[in-house]
């Protein structure tokens, strides 16, 4: 059956007339792909180094082809790649696009506290701006719920809703728990509509 496939591929014109069948494929010791595909890996210079060291004949045959058109990078065993290439490697890893972190926008560090009416004489307290001080909102939400013995939840990017009217106590509690939040950076907005 193998001979039928070989003859079909030769007839179709896809087979190389100079090749001997069955083909023997040389796999790279760095990226574990066939050596023809090393140029598509994140670090082709390491693959070329390995190939030049272990199989100089194959390296010479491959460099005559499309790799020769690429910019030549000659790294010896102890040398490090240039600094610009290291940054490029950090951006993209094997398996897809790299995660590019966006810089945080500089938001003024202000904590705002507001009392929002619910039904009849019930209120909720909204605390916004704790994230600008690098305070974990989940931890703050748990702390407020335990401190005031009520329900609390993180509702938006930088907003915690506490069930009940705690506008008087919450300023002291925030300053006590997180000393980096000073009195000038806390604004009490009073009663606010949603």
Give the pLDDT confidence score for residue 89 in this predicted structure.
54
Give the pLDDT confidence score for residue 107 in this predicted structure.
61
CA 121, chain centre distance (Å): 47
Residue 162 burial (CB count, 10 A): 23
Per-residue pLDDT tens listing for the chain (194 residues): 444 444 454 455 566 777 788 888 888 888 888 888 888 888 888 888 888 898 888 888 776 654 444 444 544 444 555 555 555 555 555 555 556 666 655 666 788 999 999 888 889 999 988 888 888 889 999 999 999 999 999 988 889 999 998 888 888 888 888 888 888 888 888 888 87
Give the pLDDT confidence score for residue 72 in this predicted structure.
47
3-state helix, strand, coil in the chain (%, to 5): 40, 15, 45
Give the pLDDT confidence score for residue 146 in this predicted structure.
93
Give the pLDDT confidence score for residue 100 in this predicted structure.
62
Burial (0-12, 13-18, 19+ Cβ within 10 Å), 47: buried
Q: Which domains does the chain carry?
A: 21-64 (no CATH), 111-191 (3.30.780.10)
Q: Give dist(CA 186, CA 177) in Å, integer.
A: 14
Give the pLDDT confidence score for residue 152 in this predicted structure.
92
Q: Give dist(CA 190, CA 180) in Å, integer.
A: 23
Residue 116 pairs in a beta bridge with 124
| Torsion angle of the four alpha carbons 56, 57, 60, 64, in this order, in degrees rounded to the nearest 10 | -160
Q: What residue spans of the chain are helical by DSSP H?
A: 2-12, 44-54, 56-63, 83-91, 137-148, 167-177
CB 149 within 8 A of CB 86: no
């Amino acid at each position: 059956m193998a001979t039928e496939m070989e003859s079909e591929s030769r007839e179709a014109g896809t087979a190389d007339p100079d090749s001997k069948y069955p083909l023997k494929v040389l796999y790279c010791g760095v990226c574990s792909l066939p050596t023809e595909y090393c140029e598509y890996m994140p670090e082709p210079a390491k693959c070329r180094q390995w190939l030049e060291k272990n199989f100089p004949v194959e390296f010479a045959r491959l460099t005559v082809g499309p790799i020769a058109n690429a910019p030549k990078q000659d790294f010896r065993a102890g040398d490090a790649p240039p600094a610009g290439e290291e940054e490029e490697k950090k951006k993209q890893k094997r398996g897809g696009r790299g995660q590019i972190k966006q810089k945080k926008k500089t938001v003024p560090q202000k904590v705002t506290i507001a009392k929002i009416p619910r039904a009849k004489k019930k209120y909720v307290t909204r605390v916004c701006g704790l994230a600008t001080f690098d305070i974990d909102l989940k931890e703050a939400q748990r702390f407020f719920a335990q401190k005031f013995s009520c329900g609390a939840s993180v509702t938006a990017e930088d907003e915690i809703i506490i069930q009940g009217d705690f506008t008087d106590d919450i300023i002291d509690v925030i300053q006590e728990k997180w000393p980096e939040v000073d009195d000038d950076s806390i604004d009490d907005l009073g009663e606010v509509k949603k």
